[in-house]
C-alpha cells in the first residue's frame, strides 16, 4: 500500500494488484448525510443529478466515451461519508478523470434530470415503506437518533426529499468538492503517472469537520406502529453501541454481533427460530459509525406470538453471556474473517475498504488490522461485551397489522 497527498485535503491510497488489467477507483468524502441538515437526502440527490451530464456533454456522449473502458461513474451516500466509484481498464483512467473533472466543474443540472432523479428517489422511498422491516427501521432511526445528525437515512424520507429544489442541489454540489477530507482509493493495475493525473482533478477538499456527538439511550422506550397489510409483526430493538474509533470495544461488538445474529448458526436463529419456532426471520446487525451507534436485533413473528417473542428476547439478552461458548465463538471468528476476506477478492471492494477505513479512522491499515484484532479477541472479551449489552437500556419499534 502506498499513500500520498494529491492536493489540499485530498489523499490517495494505492493498492497494486497486477494479475488483470482492471483499475478500481473509489473516491471517499467526509460529506455524508450527516451534513444534510433538515434536508436529508440532499447530498445523495445532488450527486446523482450533478454527475449525470455536463454543460458540454450529454449522458449519451459520456456513455459513448466511457463504455469502451469500463463501468459508469456511480455515486453513493452513507451517514458518515459519500463515494464516487468506477472500474475500468487502466488505459481508460485518464479519460475517466477528464470526464469526472468536467462533471465537477461544469455540471449541467437540467430541470429534466432533477425531476427524473427526484422522482426515482421518492419511488425508492415509497418502495422501502412497502416492507414492514424497512418501514420499521426508518422509524427506528427517527426514534433512536432523534435530534442528532444520524436521525435520517442517507436517502432521506418523503418529508425531507419532497421540499428539495434544484437550487438546493446546485448549492450543495458546488460546496461538496471544496469541503472536508477526500480519500481517493485505487486498487488493481495502477496506471502510469497516476499522481500527475489525479492532480488534475478539481477537488480541493477542506478542513475535516470531525462532527462529534453522542446518541445516548437514557431509558428503555418502545413505540408500536400499526400499518395495513403487515402479515407478520416485526420487532426492532437497538442498544447503544461503540463508535469505530473506540477500537477494542468496537471490534468486540462486531464479533459479538456475528455470534448473536449473523447466519443460521447464530444464537438468535437457533434459540428463537429453531428451538422455539417464534421467528420467520431473525438476526442482528451493528453498523460501523464514527459516533456511537446501535447494536440492533430484530425478529419477524406471527401476531399471536408477539408477547412470547418479546419475553424470550428479554431472556436471551439477560442471559447472553452464558450463551457464548468456545464453539460458537470460533464459528463466528471463522465466518467473520471468511466473509471479510472473500469480499476483498473483488478489486472494487478492496479499494472501497482501504478508503472506508481511512475516511472513518484516518488509518487505512485498519483494513488488515481488523482481522488481526478479531483473531486476538478472547472469549472473556466477547463475554464482557455481552455482559455490558445485557445491562443496557434500549429503544424498540414494533410494527404490527392494523
Phi then psi for residue 222, to 5 deg, are -140, 140
Q: Please give the sequence-ordered ranges of beta strands (E in DSSP) within 159-220, or none if there are none.
A: 182-188
- Can you give the pLDDT at residue 208? 87
Is residue 257 scored above 80 in pLDDT? yes
Determine the 3-state secondary structure of 65 from DSSP. Answer: helix
pLDDT(255) > 90 = yes
pLDDT of 88 above 80: yes
Position 251 pLDDT exceeds 70? yes
For residue 150, give the C-alpha cell. 444520524
Average pLDDT, the chain: 96
Using CA atoms, how far apart are residues 86 and 44, in angstroms rounded to an integer?
17
pLDDT for position 402? 67
User: What would the pLDDT profile of 21-66 be if each residue is shown by its tens digit?
Assistant: 999 999 999 999 999 999 999 999 999 999 999 999 999 999 999 9
Print burial letters for 105-143: b (CB count within 10 Å at least 16), e (below 16). eebbbbeebbeebbeebbeebeebeeebbbbbbbbbbbb
Which residue stretches of 26-150 are H helix? 42-50, 59-66, 93-105, 111-130, 132-144
Distances (CA, A) of 358 to 128, 292, 349, 367: 31, 18, 14, 9
User: Are the C-beta atoms of 184 and 357 separated by less than 8 Å?
Assistant: no
Within 10 angstroms of residue 36's Cβ, the number of other Cβ atoms is 24
The predicted-structure confidence for 162-175, as pLDDT tens digits, reads as follows 999 999 999 999 99
Q: Supply the pLDDT for residue 291.
A: 97
Mean pLDDT score, 312-341: 97
Q: How far is CA 51 from the centre of its chain?
A: 21
pLDDT at 228: 79
Task: Show the CA angle centred on residue 102, arms to residues 100 and 107, nearest 5°.
Answer: 100
* Confidence (pTM): 0.95
| Strand 74-77, strand 82-88: pairing | antiparallel
Q: How confident is the model at residue 19 (pLDDT cuts 50, 70, 90)?
A: confident
Domains in the chain, start-ordered, CATH in brackets?
2-198 (3.30.830.10), 221-401 (3.30.830.10)
Question: Rounded to whole angstroms, how far apart are CA atoms 250 and 270?
Answer: 25
Q: What's the CA gap between 282 and 51, in Å, rounded?
A: 38
What letter would DSSP give residue 54? B
d(CA 106, CA 124): 28
Average pLDDT over residues 284-302: 98
pLDDT, mean of residues 3-9: 93
pLDDT at position 80 over 70:
yes
Distance of CA 6 to the CA centre of its chain: 26
Residue 309's contacts (CB-CB under 8 Å, 6 or more residues apart) are 233, 235, 272, 278, 279, 299, 301
- Which of 15-19, 177-181, 236-240 comes out lowest in average pLDDT? 15-19
**Within a 10 A sphere around the Cβ of 21, how many other Cβ atoms?**
12
Average pLDDT over residues 179-192: 97
| Residue whose C-alpha is closest to residue 136's, from 292, 318, 281 | 281
pLDDT of residue 230 exceeding 80:
no
Tens of pLDDT, residues 362-395: 999 999 999 999 999 999 999 999 999 999 999 9
HEC letters along 301-314: ECHHHHHHHHHHHH
The whole-angstrom separation of Cα 98 and Cα 358 is: 25
Read off the C-alpha cell for 293: 451507534
Centroid of chain to Cα 212: 18
Is 184 within 8 Å of 11 (Cβ atoms)? yes
Partners of residue 397 on adjacent β-strands: 223, 236
Q: How many residues does the chain have?
A: 402
Mean pLDDT for the stretch of residues 341-365: 97
SS3 242: coil
Amino acid at each position: 500500500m502506498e499513500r500520498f497527498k494529491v492536493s489540499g485535503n485530498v489523499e490517495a491510497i494505492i493498492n497494486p494488484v497486477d494479475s488483470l488489467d482492471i483499475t478500481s477507483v473509489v473516491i471517499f468524502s467526509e460529506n455524508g448525510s450527516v451534513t444534510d441538515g433538515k434536508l436529508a437526502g440532499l447530498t445523495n440527490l445532488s450527486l446523482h443529478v450533478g454527475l449525470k451530464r455536463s454543460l458540454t456533454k450529454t449522458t449519451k456522449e459520456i456513455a459513448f466515451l466511457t463504455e469502451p473502458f469500463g463501468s459508469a461513474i456511480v455515486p453513493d451516500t452513507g451517514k458518515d461519508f459519500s463515494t464516487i466509484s468506477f472500474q475500468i481498464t487502466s488505459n481508460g483512467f485518464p479519460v475517466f478523470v477528464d470526464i469526472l473533472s468536467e462533471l465537477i466543474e461544469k455540471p449541467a443540472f437540467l430541470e429534466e434530470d432533477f425531476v427524473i432523479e427526484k422522482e426515482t428517489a421518492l419511488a425508492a422511498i415509497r418502495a422501502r415503506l412497502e416492507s414492514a422491516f424497512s418501514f420499521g427501521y426508518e422509524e427506528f432511526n427517527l426514534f433512536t437518533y432523534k435530534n442528532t445528525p444520524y436521525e435520517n437515512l442517507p436517502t432521506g424520507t418523503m418529508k425531507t426529499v419532497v421540499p428539495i429544489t434544484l437550487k438546493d442541489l446546485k448549492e450543495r454540489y458546488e460546496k461538496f468538492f471544496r469541503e472536508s477530507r477526500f480519500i481517493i482509493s485505487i486498487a488493481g493495475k495502477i496506471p502510469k503517472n497516476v499522481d500527475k493525473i489525479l492532480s488534475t482533478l478539481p477537488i480541493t477538499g477542506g478542513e475535516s469537520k470531525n462532527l462529534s456527538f453522542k446518541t445516548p439511550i437514557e431509558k428503555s422506550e418502545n413505540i408500536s406502529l400499526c400499518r395495513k397489510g403487515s402479515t407478520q409483526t416485526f420487532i426492532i430493538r437497538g442498544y447503544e453501541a461503540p463508535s469505530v474509533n473506540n477500537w477494542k470495544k468496537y471490534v468486540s461488538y462486531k464479533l459479538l454481533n456475528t455470534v448473536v445474529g449473523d447466519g443460521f448458526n447464530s444464537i438468535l436463529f437457533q434459540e428463537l427460530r429453531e428451538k422455539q419456532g417464534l421467528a420467520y426471520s431473525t438476526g442482528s446487525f451493528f453498523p460501523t459509525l464514527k459516533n456511537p451507534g446501535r447494536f440492533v436485533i430484530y425478529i419477524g413473528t406471527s401476531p399471536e406470538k408477539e408477547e412470547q417473542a418479546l419475553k424470550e428476547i428479554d431472556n436471551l439478552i439477560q442471559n447472553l453471556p452464558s450463551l457464548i461458548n468456545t464453539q460458537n465463538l470460533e464459528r463466528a471468528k471463522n465466518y467473520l474473517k471468511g466473509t471479510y476476506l472473500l469480499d476483498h477478492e473483488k478489486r472494487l471492494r478492496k479499494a472501497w475498504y482501504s478508503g472506508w477505513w481511512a475516511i472513518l479512522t484516518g488509518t487505512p491499515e485498519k483494513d488488515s488490522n481488523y482481522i488481526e484484532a478479531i483473531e486476538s479477541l478472547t472469549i472473556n472479551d466477547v463475554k464482557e461485551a455481552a455482559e455490558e449489552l445485557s445491562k443496557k437500556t434500549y429503544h424498540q419499534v414494533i410494527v404490527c397489522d392494523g
